[in-house]
Structure 1
Amino acid sequence: MGTYKYSAEFRADAVALYRSSPGRPVAAVAKDRGVNHETLRLWIKAAETAEAPSARAEADKDAEIAALRRQVRELELEREILRRAAKYFAGETNW
């Protein structure tokens, strides 16, 4: 992905600082740590995702279901095309 400007420990400390001060805005914590507030938001979101493996597994499952549904639609379309082609060629040969 690329090199990180901040170490994993620094990011974890910043997230912990935000969580330990309820009611304090993300921007204030980010300013204290010397990072952009959107960067801190991304770190918080990533930490929440990492802590909820069931949510990640659920997202993976949803993505797989969506891919399988696309594949089913494609296969149904192919089957319909083949059915129509067989009907057309059967009519051409007068079977």
Structure 2
Amino acid sequence: MAEKRRKFDPEFSEGAVRIVTETGKTIAEVAEDLGINETTLASWVSRARRAGTAPAGGSDELERLRREVAQLKRENKELVMERDVLKRCMVLWVK
């Protein structure tokens, strides 16, 4: 007997596309997590990218942002240490 075709809400498909584009997970991983066919999700992602509603870079863009955040965290840590040293110097100078 043939399987009945499942229909998905537009919100569900948009959410699935967002998961793929924002988390860096592969289409296969997300499809398995959501219990949908991999080719269905791939077509949603492809359609969203053609329409311009999803970032074209996908995981590449996400990786670039992760590297940038890591660099900013390192710089912030260094600046906090420098600030603390200056505070200690001021305390010693005032005494």
**Larger helix proportion of the pair:** 1
Q: TM-score, normalization: structure 1?
A: 0.45
Q: TM-score, normalization: structure 2?
A: 0.45
**Which gives a bigger RCO, structure 1 or 2 (Cα 8 Å, sep 6+)?**
2
